[in-house]
Homo-oligomer: A and B are copies of this chain.
Amino acid sequence: MQLPKTDYLIAPRPDAENLTRAVQGTDHTGQPVDISVVEERPLTIYLNRQEIVTAMTIGDYPEYLAVGFLRNQGMLADDEVITAVDYDEDLEVVVVRTKSQTTFEEKTQKKTRTSGCAVGTVFGDMMEGLDQVALPTTEVRTSWLYALAHRINTTPSLYLQAGAIHGTVLCQQDRPLVYMEDVGRHNAVDKIAGWMFQENVQAHDKILYTTGRLTSEMVIKCALMGIPVLASRSGFTAWGVEIARQVGLTCIGRMKGKRFVCLSGEDRLLRDMDPDQVPEEAKKSGRKGAKQA
């Protein structure tokens, strides 16, 4: 896919009617208040005739979510031909149809509960395929990272509108391309994986920016997607760092204003910008607040 040179290909849609809802409550003074709250609805994913999982999701891009989920669970091979992705809004079901039979049956045998906010499960061996990962030695300029963080944090988003949501952004150099949000952090990543698969987008020159923590599963997903750089506002877990070092993924966390920490893959970093030239974040762009409706 040839990428146009400007602006997001997919940006958050904070004003979309079906993604947030105004809810009445009271504030600390006892006064009634209307606040904007993100939606959360079930989406059941089928692979051909097999029901795989029901995901709790904000509900946008169900097709990308389904394809990306199946990809990231190793249920769709690189050369799999998807013949159709059918979404039924009323039934809250999405069916991914493939040309050949897939390996999902063996994958659903073993369940691993992963870190993160929810009861996490991945199918099959979490580490499967990691030893075949060879991430390219793409250069990453710190000026890109600073530009990305600033751009992403000031982009109108459901987070800024309603809070309680995670964001993941696929980036190329200093440009954010696809900014997905979801109540489930991994859903946001899966939607990006689905978009990349469906649009046939290369991974080797990309940067993945996430608002969530750099846990083992996030690192593994990024590596298996073939993206060599993972950046976050949040922190690390020890096992996440260990895996990142094993597979040679560049892992940058705690990105706030001029500050960041690189715990893996330092060799890709080109420090082309003086951190003292980076302005501190405006308070309202920080990811810990949401305006009232």
Contact = CB atoms under 8 A, between A and B. Distances in A.
A142 B119 CA distance: 31
B164 A40 contact: no
A184 B115 contact: yes
A40 B27 CA distance: 37
Q: Which of A116, A119, A286 has the most CB of B within 10 A?
A: A119
A118 B217 contact: yes
Interface of A: 20-21, 23-30, 33, 35, 37-42, 53-57, 111-122, 142, 162-164, 166, 183-186, 212-217, 234-241, 254, 258-264, 266, 269, 271, 275, 286, 288, 290
B114 A119 contact: yes
A17 to B, nearest CB: 13
Given A25-B266, A118-B119, A120-B120, 13 more contacts: A20-B238, A23-B238, A25-B264, A28-B259, A56-B112, A56-B115, A115-B117, A117-B185, A118-B120, A118-B185, A118-B217, A119-B217, A183-B215
A119 B214 contact: no
Nearest to A122: B119
A288 B213 CA distance: 12
Contact of A261 (B27, B42, B121, B259): B27
Nearest to A32: B266
21 contacts: A27-B259, A27-B262, A28-B259, A38-B235, A39-B238, A39-B239, A56-B112, A56-B120, A56-B216, A111-B121, A115-B184, A116-B117, A117-B215, A118-B215, A119-B184, A163-B235, A163-B254, A164-B215, A164-B235, A183-B215, A183-B237
A117 B117 contact: yes
Contact of A53 (B33, B40, B121): B121
Contact of A271 (B30, B38, B142, B264): B30
Contacts of A114: 56, 118-119, 184
A55 B112 CA distance: 6
Contacts of A266: 25-26
Nearest to A112: B54
Q: Which of A184, A238, A258, A260 has the most CB of B within 10 A?
A: A238
A190 to B, nearest CB: 8
Contacts of A214: 164
A21 B238 contact: yes
Contact of A27 (B185, B236, B260): B260
A164 B28 contact: no
B56 A113 contact: yes
Contacts of A166: 117
A53 B117 contact: no
B183 A115 contact: yes
Contacts of A162: 235
Q: Which of A235, A259, A264, A290 has the most CB of B within 10 A?
A: A235
